[in-house]
Structures are given as structure tokens and as C-alpha cells.
Amino acid sequence: MASVRLEEFLQPISRALEHTHVPESVKPYDTFAGPQRELLAHATQEDCIALLKQEAQALGTLVREATPETTAQVITDLVKELEGADVVFADSPEADRYDIPQALAAAGANAYRWDAQNPQESIAQAEKAQVGISFAYGAIAETATVVQESTKNSGRAICLLPEAHIAVVKKKNVVARMVHILDQLEERIANKEVLPSNITFISGPSNTADIELVRVVGVHGPVHAAIVLVDE
Amino acid sequence: MGILYDQAPLKDKVERALSDDFKHHAIETAQDVITQKRQALVDQVENWEDFREKAAEIRNHVLENLDYYVKQFAQNAEAAGCTMHYAPTAEDAIDTILDIFDELGETSCVKSKSMMTEEIGLNERLEEHGIHPIETDCAENIIQTAGDAPSHIVVPALHFDRNAIRDLYRERKGYTGTNDPEEITHFLRTMLRSEFMNAHVGITGCNFGVAETGSCTLVSNEGNARMASTIPETQIIVMGIERIVPDLRSLDVMMELLVRSAVGAKITSSFSLNTGPAKPGEVDGPKTVHIVMVNNGRTNILASKYRPMLRCIRCGACMNTCPVYRHITGHGYGSIYPGPMGIVLTPLLVGYSKAEKLPYACTLCGACSDVCPVKIPLHDLILKHRIDMVRLGYTPAVESSLFTAGAKVFSNRLLYEIATTVGAPGTQILTGNSGHIDSGSVWIPVLNGWTYSRDLDVMKHKKFRTQLAEYQKQKQNRHQDQEDA
């Protein structure tokens, strides 16, 4: 006997709780209120941007600021700094709105647009690329975290396989704490929106301290991380 | 391997651990480094105690309604497209996972760190069936390559030094580099990258399952958990039934506490929230997600006075602060769950007869309960184990061999001083308000011995870390004096 049916699996749990059956509802518990709302409760947008920059520095994440007009230039400069000859970027409307593909091409980078029609090629290009560029859902100031959703136009591999990851975030989408992003997700669920298959909270380059607690940056994920804050 | 990997008598395990200077020193350093980093961050969070209280409440709420929440989680995960499996025992979980491999016809997989898979002894059983699991967490890979057992739940390979690791990979994996941790880590990156890119099955654990959405979260610094849930077409998630939180919002409180408590950092490099398999048209992410929910004795704990143990979020803070762990290291316990949380959990999972004298590898100083992010009264539960062992007739054997078993640890000067000067809640239970161990506690073998052999100037109300720092300074001064002399 390997797996059992859910009803059968639940029986011993109900018994342990002295329930005659699995209840239809539970006494509500307030997960909204609590200490998570007190921290940074009065942070303004400016405070959040300043905090994000400070925390990013601590993590070793590069931060650049841009306007919609300068974003392409800021990104090509970053790509040069990160020595990216091969670049993979998400097939998002922002990429074109900011003229990123043209700017990368003009700068001599071999830029590949993520292509849901060519899954194998997309993965192969992400593996080959030194730099991956994605457009984040938002960011968290307290931990310099970018919140990245996976979609068919923006695969998980873009922010994971290349040696460097550049996340483009709109300044207005920077929040103080994780709970504020989670609130937004709760609202989307309440509006019957289906969650993306993957939302990753990315904070700095991948790292480990598994050998004698010596911190090493760049394990399975990116070795370098950068955030471009766009003022729009 | 399962829960117990070393069934030698406690005495022997302790002796072995105490005689290994490197291991001993490595754990001391790890405790100091992680504890200091943790404390610095905790001090910055002015309402840290409120976070602990909130987290304990959330976890209690889930446990009090666990049948409801397991059902809600399962139904929502299924609605999101996951294939659900329900395993009452470890054996059932193994069979389920083997069936999935049989059906796929796959003979290897990549794995990210998961205590649940260690608890059910998954790797050995996969190997027995001709399936090769590749551990991709650096520390787990070191342990797997060496054929050794973990010594810590968060940083499991601390007992290997850089030379041993260099030699291990030279001998077994063709490494030609130096003992530099960065060079070794980058070798592992390259070696494991090709394993990831060729993998068809990824096995992961689950830090938190979100009931309202059926999502599973993964917390990782190395990025390997993300790799295991990005490249392979099939992902198998193995999770205990108690991993659940009610909703997405609850994750903030949990993450605030988990990462600071586990590694002394504000956040890990990645925290993934995975809901169902990849959507149609998505290039990467698993096409199929199997979630194996495992009971394996947890309902017995749920029905007992040990229920608070199920709040545990596996951060390891208790072992990082434990004076006994500091000396006997993870290997002294012989269980994949070492330290205070392991002392409580191991007997509940394997029974007193197999867990032997574990509840006695504790000074009841209560330092663990003070740091536990979900406020598990660990030392109190350890005391309850001792009471139950007496009640159930496990005491005679313990009494007869306790002092031979524990002599080295408990007569150790450092341990003794720490244990007897902490004045923590555990000792208060024993002493009441008087500051003296009362006659009601002398039946406890360890304390019995202490009260007879040590004077009772024991219950100063001082913080453990302060005490430790003071002691080490004294020790240093003594060394200095000796050298000067």
C-alpha cells in the first residue's frame, strides 16, 4: 500500500484533534494584523528607495537608476560592466518600450529574446548567456529583494542560468516589506486571478557558506545581481 | 539511513564526538558565528518578541485545525494542477516515490536539501532500486560523496575541513584545484550544472505549504532548489503534514523569523513560491508536480502533550545555542535531527527504546527555548520526555548507565558552568523561585548527580552568551597565565 485516499489520510488527523469529521470551516484567525505591519510602517516611497539601495549594497547587488528614456543606456552600460557578450532578455512589453533590444544590438551584444515558441533554444541561450534581463513585478526595500513572476514570456531560467541577472523594476512598485507584496497577491486571489506557477523573491547573488562557513558568492544561481530602478 | 544513523550507545557517540578536535572546534566556531550574526539582526527588530508570539499563534492555529488545513491545502494544490499523494508512513512515501519513478522510467534525479526526505531515508531506498539521486546543495553533496551523515540541519557538512573536502573531490570527482572554498564551490557549480541540465526529475522539500492557494515555498541561498524546480519536467515535493500556513500573508512572519534564526541573515538569495506545474506555453518549470504529504507519526505527536513540537520550522537556532550540542556535535546524537529539537522529535518518531538516552543529553538550561522563533518550550518538552521515560519504565537502564554515558559531557567544566549559571526558564522549573534545586527534582538522573556532586551556586540570572563569553575570556587568561609562567 503506497498512497491512500485523502479522506483516509485525514482520519487520524481528525482523531488526534478529537474531531468526529473534518470541519467545514474554522474559527477565523487574523493573519492580517500583527508585528509585520509595525516595521517600516511609516516609510515613504523615498525612504523605501534609500533603504533598498542600502540593503542592496550589503548583499552585493548593483543598483542603477533610470528614466524610461535612459533605461536602455543604463542596461547596456551594466551589460558591458558585467562583460556580457551573450544576453537573454524577457519578451516583455517593457523591453520594446525601453528600446532595449536595439540598444543591446548597437552596443555589440548578442541579445536573445526569450521565445515561448522555441523552448529548447530559449533554455540553451539562457545557459550560454552571461547576462539575463527580466522585468520584475516589484521589489522589497527591507531586503533589497526583487519579486519575479514566471510567465511564458519570461522564463525562470532568465534569472537563474546566466552568471549575472539584471532586474528592471519600476520605482513605484518598490514596497517596504514582504507583507506588502503578499497583500497585493492576496488581492489578486480575491479577484479570482490565478497565481503564476512561480514567483521568486530574489535577494542578491546566489551564495553559500557550506565550507568552513566561508561565504562564497555564485553557486548554482547568478554570481552577480543588479537592479535597475526606473522612474515612471 | 532514516532518522537514526548511528545506533551506538549514547556514551560511545559522545566519546567519539568529544575526541574529534576538528569537529568540536568547527561546531564551536559555527555556533559563535551564526549566533552572533543572528543576535545582531534580532536586536534590530524591536518587536522581535511579537513576531515570535505571532508565529507561534499561526502555527498553533494550523495545528488545532490541521485536518481542515491539510484538506484545504490538498484540494487547492490539486486545483492548481498538482498530483497529490498521501503517505501515512515513511514506507508509504518511499513506495509512492518509487512508483512515480517506475512510471516515468527514470533512473536518476537531482535533489535539493530536504529534512523530510532524510527522515524517510529516501536516498538509500532510491539507490537500492537503481535510482541515483544527486544531492545538489553543496554541503549535502559533500556528505553524499563522502558517504557520511549530517552534523547540523542547516549547515550539515561543517565537520569536514577544506582539505578533507578538496581531497574528497580529488579522489572521487576528478577535482584538480586547491583547498580554497571558492574554488571548490565553483567546481561544484560546474559539476552540478550539467547534472541539472540533464535532469528529468527534481526532488525538493517544502518549507511552507500555503493552504489557501496550494502553493509550496522553497528557501535557498545556493539557488539549487530553484534549479530543481526549473529544469526537470517532473518535480516531486515531499512534505510533512505540519508544514502548512493558512495564507500567503502568513509567510512574512515566518520568513522574518526563519532566515534570521537559521543563518543570521535578513533574507536568503531566493525564496520561491510555486503554485502548480508550469502553465501551458511556459518554457521551463515542471510540467508535472507530485506532492507527497507524509504523516509518519505526526498525528501521534498532534494528539499528545508534545504537540508544540510540530510548530518547528527547522531553523536550527536551538542547536546553535545549545551548550551540549557545542560539545558533542550533531554526531553525538546519532539522529538526523540533533540538538534540542532533535532530542524532542527523535523519540517521538522512533520511540523511547530506540532513542535511548537522548533526553538526557541536555542540561535543561533553556537557552534553546529562548531563541526558538516559534516559542517551542523545548527544554520543558525534554523534561516531559524524562518524566514519561520514568513512567513507561525506561528509567532503570538509564539510571544504571547514565553517569558512565554522560560523565564526559556533564562533568565537563565548561558545560557545567554554563548549565549551572544560566538561570533560564528550565532551571526555574526545577528550582521554583528559590534558586535551589528542590528535592522533587533529584530523581532526574543527571540533576541527581549534579546536586550531589556540585555545590548549588547555580541559578544566576544571566544570559547564556554573556556567560559563555566571560568563561572563554577566563579560559584564555588562564592559558595566557600558563604560557607566561
Identify the pLDDT of residue B445: 38
Identify the pLDDT of residue B14: 87
Per DSSP, B483 falls in state H
Q: Do A152 and B162 touch (CB under 8 A)?
A: no
In angstroms, the separation between the Cα of residue A106 and the nearest Cα of chain B is 28
Condensed to tens digits (0 to 9), the pLDDT of residues B249-302 reads: 999 999 999 999 999 999 999 999 999 999 999 999 999 999 999 999 999 999
CATH architecture of structural domain B48-136+200-298: 3-Layer(aba) Sandwich (3.40)
Grid coordinates given for B325? 550540542
Identify the pLDDT of residue B24: 84
Grid coordinates given for B404? 558512565
Angle at A161 between CA A155 and CA A167, to 5 degrees: 65
Residues 6+ apart with CB under 8 A from B420: B363, B450, B454, B457, B458, B459
Condensed to tens digits (0 to 9), the pLDDT of residues A123-177 reads: 999 999 999 999 999 999 999 999 999 999 999 999 999 999 999 999 999 999 9
A3, A11, A20, A182: best to mutate for the B interface, most B CBs within 10 A: A3
Supply the mean pLDDT for chain A. Answer: 97
* pLDDT above 90 as % of chain B: 73
Count of Cβ atoms closer than 10 Å to residue B379 Cβ: 28
d(CA A232, CA A230) in angstroms, rounded, equals: 6
B2 interfacial to chain A (CB closer than 8 Å): no
Identify the pLDDT of residue B458: 35
Identify the pLDDT of residue B396: 54
Per DSSP, B365 falls in state -
Identify the burial level of B197 via C-beta atoms within 10 angstroms of its C-beta, where 0-12 means exposed, 13-18 middle and 19 or more buried.
Answer: middle
Q: Is the pLDDT of residue B427 over 60?
A: no
Alpha-carbon torsion B173, B179, B180, B181, what sign? positive
Domain segments of chain B: what residues?
13-44+316-480, 48-136+200-298
- 3-state SS, residue B121: coil
- Give the end-to-end CA distance of chain B in Å, rounded to a whole number: 51
Count of all residues that appear for chain B in the document = 485
Interface of B with A in 118-137 (CB under 8 A): 136-137
Count of Cβ atoms closer than 10 Å to residue B19 Cβ: 10
d(CA B246, CA B214) in angstroms, rounded, equals: 10
Q: Is the pLDDT of residue B474 over 70?
A: no
User: Average of pLDDT values for B151-170?
Assistant: 92
Kindly report the CATH number that applies to the domain delimited by A39-230.
Answer: 3.40.50.10420
* pLDDT above 70 as % of chain B: 81
Q: Is the pLDDT of residue A51 over 90?
A: yes
User: Average of pLDDT values for A4-33?
Assistant: 97
Distances (CA, A) of B274 to B82, B204, B228, B414, B474: 11, 12, 12, 46, 51
> Torsion over CA of A187, A193, A196 and A197, rounded to 10 degrees?
110
Grid coordinates given for B272? 520561491
In angstroms, the separation between the Cα of residue A112 and the nearest Cα of chain B is 15
Q: Which residues pair with A88 in a beta bridge?
A: A112, A132
User: Average of pLDDT values for B222-235?
Assistant: 97
Grid coordinates given for B171? 579522489
Identify the burial level of B186 via C-beta atoms within 10 angstroms of its C-beta, where 0-12 means exposed, 13-18 middle and 19 or more buried.
Answer: middle
Q: Which residue has better confidence, B410 or A115?
A: A115
Nearest CA among B389, B344, B334 for reference residue B3: B334
Q: Which residue of B has its CA nearest to A205?
A: B269
Q: Do B268 and A203 touch (CB under 8 A)?
A: yes
d(CA B304, CA B296) in angstroms, rounded, equals: 15
Q: Is the pLDDT of residue B463 over 90?
A: no
User: Average of pLDDT values for B8-17?
Assistant: 89
Q: Is the pLDDT of residue B422 over 60?
A: no
Q: Do A220 and B246 touch (CB under 8 A)?
A: no
User: Average of pLDDT values for A55-69?
Assistant: 97
> What phi and psi values does residue A192 have, to the nearest 5 degrees?
65, 20
Q: Give the H/E segment covering residue B385.
A: helix B378-391
User: Average of pLDDT values for B420-428?
Assistant: 40
A154 interfacial to chain B (CB closer than 8 Å): no
Nearest CA among B242, B173, B239 for reference residue B203: B239
Condensed to tens digits (0 to 9), the pLDDT of residues A206-220 reads: 999 999 999 999 999
Grid coordinates given for B172? 572521487
Condensed to tens digits (0 to 9), the pLDDT of residues B17-43 reads: 888 888 888 899 999 999 999 999 999
Q: Is the pLDDT of residue B444 over 60?
A: no
The answer to whether the CB of B373 falls within 8 A of the CB of B253 is no
Identify the pLDDT of residue B410: 46
Distances (CA, A) of B49 to B53, B307, B349, B374, B376: 6, 21, 30, 10, 13
Identify the pLDDT of residue B393: 87
Confidence of residue B73 (pLDDT cuts 50, 70, 90): very high
A67 interfacial to chain B (CB closer than 8 Å): no
d(CA B437, CA A64) in angstroms, rounded, equals: 62
Helix runs in B241-359, H state only: 250-263, 298-302, 317-321, 323-328, 339-350, 352-355
User: Average of pLDDT values for B116-130?
Assistant: 97
CA R_g for chain B: 23
B250-263 and B48-64 helices, crossing angle to 10°: 120
Identify the pLDDT of residue B114: 95
Q: Which residues pair with B111 in a beta bridge?
A: B135, B203
d(CA A218, CA B138) in angstroms, rounded, equals: 12
Supply the mean pLDDT for chain B. Answer: 86
Identify the pLDDT of residue B2: 87
Helix runs in chain A, H state only: 6-16, 45-59, 71-81, 93-97, 100-106, 119-128, 178-190
d(CA A222, CA A131) in angstroms, rounded, equals: 9
For chains A and B, count residue pairs whose Cβ atoms are closer than 8 Å: 286
Identify the pLDDT of residue B143: 96
d(CA B373, CA B369) in angstroms, rounded, equals: 9
Identify the pLDDT of residue B483: 55
Q: Find chain A residues with C-beta within 8 A of B272's C-beta.
A: 198-201
